[in-house]
């Protein structure tokens, strides 16, 4: 009874070889179409996890800096992450400028990290570039680390008064977000 149950594709009947190939082609084409369809479905299933439109929508944060005395800092929120806004004292600016940039892990001068005319305003993300903890040093009385800037307690990264990485595992300086002074006392971040 093998004739009925065994798939005798290529041998049965005296048809030409071309015919046989056409038939195999049909099955390959059908399976391929199913494969293409299956792969196409994966695209929306994967991209649905990417940020949705409301998250992507350009968001900005306005910060009033008029109440920040030299030597003080505040934490603002930008894209659900902390931003440090720090009013540097002349001594802190001097300390930052005294470091030869060539000796740094992530060479950048203070001037490159601030806006012209507002060199005393150091605005950085409050996100350690190592693994994303929030460094200490913005709040009153917090540990500012060995270099007087910020200290990340998670894995011991020390940042200086220009928020540059000086010691510890972090690879980069604290990130400076895009911002602009819309007036002398107002910063728009983002």
Partner 1 sequence: MSFPWAKQYEPKLPLMKFLDEKLPLPRFVYNAVGAGYPVPRNLNYFWNFGVLAGFCLVIQIVTGVILAMHYAPNALVAFDSTEHIMRDVNWGWMLRYGHANGASFFFVVVYVHIFRGLFFSSYKAPREMIWLLGVVIFLLMMATAFMGYVLPWGQMSFWGAKVITGLFGAIPLVGEPLQIWLLGGYAPDNAALNRFFSLHFLLPFVILGVVILHIWALHIPGSSNPTGVEVKSESDTVPFHPYYTAKDGFGLGVFLVIYTLFVFFMPNSLGHPDNYIPANPLSTPAHIVPEWYFWPFYAILRAFTQDFLFIPAKLMGVIAMFASILVWFFLPWLDRSPVRSGLYRPVFRKFFYALLVAMAVLFWCGGAPAEEPYVMLSQIAAMYYFAHFLIILPLVSSFETPKPLPGSITEAVLGDKTGGHDAVPLATTNDAPASA
Partner 2 sequence: MARLISIIVGLGFVVVLLYTFAVGAYTAATEKAEVTAEHEFHLTPRDAHLQSAGWTGTFDYQQVQRGYQVYKEVCSACHSLRHVAIRNLGELGYSEAEVKAEASSWMVPGIDPNTGESTLIEGSPTDYFPSPYPNAVAAAAANNNAVPPDLSLITKARHDGGNYVYSLLTGYADPETYTHDGKSLKEEFPDFTTPTGLNFNPYFPNLNLAMAAPLSDGQVTYADGTEASLDQMAKDVAAFLVWTAEPTLQKRHATGFPVVLFLIFASVLAFLAYRNVWRNVKH
Residue with Cβ nearer partner 2 (21 or 155): 21
Residues 159, 146: contact at Cβ < 8 Å? Answer: no
CA distance 89 to 160: 13
- Exactly one of 9, 130, 155, 158 is catalytic; which is it? 155
Q: Which residues bind partner 2 (CB under 8 A)?
A: 3-4, 7-8, 12, 23, 26-27, 29-31, 33-34, 36-37, 40, 54, 57-60, 64
The CB-of-106 to partner 2 minimum distance in angstroms stands at 32
155 is annotated as an active-site residue: yes
The CB-of-188 to partner 1 minimum distance in angstroms stands at 24
Strands 148-152 and 157-160: antiparallel
CA distance 157 to 146: 10
Q: In 3-state terms, what secondary structure has residue 102?
A: helix
Residue with Cβ nearer partner 2 (30 or 111): 30
Binder of residue 184, out of partner 2, partner 1, none (CB less than 5 to 8 A by kind): none
Which tokens sit at 34? 């199913």
List residues with catalytic annotation. 155
């Amino acid at each position: 009874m093998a004739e009925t149950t065994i798939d005798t594709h290529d041998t049965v009947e005296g048809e030409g070889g071309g015919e046989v190939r056409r038939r195999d082609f049909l099955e390959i084409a059908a399976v391929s179409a199913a494969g293409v369809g299956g792969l196409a479905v994966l695209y929306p299933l994967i991209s649905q996890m990417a940020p949705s439109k409301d998250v992507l929508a350009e968001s900005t944060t306005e910060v009033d800096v008029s109440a920040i005395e030299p030597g003080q800092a505040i934490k603002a929120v930008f894209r659900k992450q902390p931003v440090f806004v720090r009013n540097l004292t002349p001594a802190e600016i001097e300390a930052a400028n005294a470091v030869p940039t060539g000796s740094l892990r992530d060479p950048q001068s203070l001037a490159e990290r601030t806006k012209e005319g507002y060199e005393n305003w150091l605005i950085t993300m409050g996100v350690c570039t190592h693994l994303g903890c929030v460094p200490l040093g913005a709040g009153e009385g917090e540990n500012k680390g060995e270099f007087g800037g910020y200290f990340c307690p998670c894995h011991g990264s020390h940042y200086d008064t220009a928020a540059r990485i000086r010691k510890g595992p972090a690879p980069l300086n604290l990130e400076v977000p895009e911002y602009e002074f819309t007036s002398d006392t107002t910063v728009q971040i983002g």
